[in-house]
């Protein structure tokens, strides 16, 4: 599978959210919006009121990364053909999650934290369209990539060779190579993209680095 780079946006205000979206709109196939409620993780981002009217994208789709308790209550209020990444640690009723995603008109993805055993996720993988393996502990941007998570990526890829596997956390020009080599074909990055003066070039450098090319 070819590597796909996705910009990850962690915004604490609607103004910041819109500014970040405008930076990458039209440059990528998907844009990840990180949503935190201050309960599941020790940080808080924009809320539902800021999400219900996010701008339409140019040939792109949104991917909502729900780092929240009771994600089904959030999902059903954000209609559209979006991908909803739900943390396995937050699921009380898988049926409720599936129903919320169906009601919203979206697609289901599952996420797993570094400290959660992969075995907890495996039974639900066939019902998801994507799996996100966190390579940092969720809550804050700019954390160091946990290289040990590459074992988890390899194990998942061995079991599900055709599944879209995404990584999120600490992805940069150095770490992207190991993540892709381990089996992650979708690579979410925040600082490595938005800290650059040229976001388009930053995205392409990450893609080339994943392939083993010269990131310079």
Instruction: Show the tokens assigned to 145.
Output: 């990539």
Q: 107 in a domain, yes or no? A: yes
User: Measured between alpha carbons, how far is 67 from 10 in angstroms, rounded to an integer?
Assistant: 11
- pLDDT for 184: 98
Tokens coding 6:
């996705």
The CATH number that applies at residue 107 is: 3.20.20.70
Structure confidence by residue, pLDDT tens digits, 26-72: 999 999 999 999 999 988 999 888 887 788 887 789 999 999 999 99
216 within some domain: no
Q: Which domain, by its residues, includes 154?
A: 4-210
Residue 81, in any domain of the structure: yes
- The string of DSSP letters for 101-123 reads HHHHT-EEEEEE-TTS-GGGTGG
Q: What are 155-207's pLDDT values in tens digits? A: 999 999 999 999 999 999 999 999 999 999 999 999 999 999 999 999 999 99
Residue 193: inside a domain = yes
Residue 72 lies in a domain: yes
Count of the separate structural domains present in the chain: 1
Please check whether residue 51 lies inside any domain of the structure. Answer: yes
169 HSE (CA, 13 A, CB side) = 23
Q: Give the model's pLDDT for residue 141.
A: 67
Q: Residue 213 has what pLDDT?
A: 58
Q: Are 156 and 116 in contact (CB under 8 A)?
A: no
pLDDT band at 215 (very low <50, low <70, confident <90, very high): very low
Own/partner long-range contacts of 11-16 (Cβ < 8 Å, ≥24 apart): 11/45, 11/46, 12/44, 12/45, 12/46, 13/46, 13/50, 14/46, 14/50
41 torsion bin: left (phi>0), alpha (psi -120 to 50), beta (else): beta
Is the predicted pLDDT of residue 214 greater than 60, yes or no?
no
Q: What are 86-138's pLDDT values in tens digits?
A: 999 999 999 999 999 999 999 999 999 999 999 999 999 999 999 999 999 98
Assigned domain for 215 exists: no
Q: What's the confidence (pLDDT) of residue 179?
A: 97
Q: In the structure, what pLDDT confidence band is assigned to residue 143 with cuts at 50, 70 and 90?
A: confident
13 falls within a domain: yes
The number of C-alpha atoms within 13 Å of 147 and in the hemisphere containing its C-beta is: 4
Catalytic residues: 34, 168
């Amino acid at each position: 599978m070819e590597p796909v780079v996705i910009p990850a946006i962690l915004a604490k205000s609607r103004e910041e959210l819109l500014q970040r979206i405008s930076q990458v709109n039209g440059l990528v196939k998907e844009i990840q919006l990180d949503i935190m409620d201050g309960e599941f993780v020790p940080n808080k981002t924009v809320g539902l009121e800021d999400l219900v009217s996010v701008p339409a994208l140019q040939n792109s789709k949104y991917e909502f990364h729900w780092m929240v308790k009771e994600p089904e209550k959030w999902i059903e209020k954000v209609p559209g053909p979006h991908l909803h990444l739900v943390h396995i640690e937050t699921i009380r009723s898988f049926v409720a999650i599936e129903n919320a995603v169906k009601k919203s008109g979206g697609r289901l993805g599952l996420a797993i934290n570094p400290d959660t055993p992969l075995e907890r996720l495996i039974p639900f993988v066939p019902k998801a369209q994507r799996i996100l393996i966190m390579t940092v502990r969720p809550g804050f941007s700019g954390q160091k990539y946990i290289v040990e998570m590459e074992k988890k990526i390899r194990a998942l890829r061995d079991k599900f060779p055709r599944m879209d596997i995404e990584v999120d956390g600490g992805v940069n020009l150095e770490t992207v190579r190991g993540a892709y080599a381990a089996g992650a074909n979708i690579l979410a990055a925040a600082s490595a993209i938005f800290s650059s003066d040229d976001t388009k070039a930053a995205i392409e450098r990450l893609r080339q680095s994943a392939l083993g090319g010269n990131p310079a």
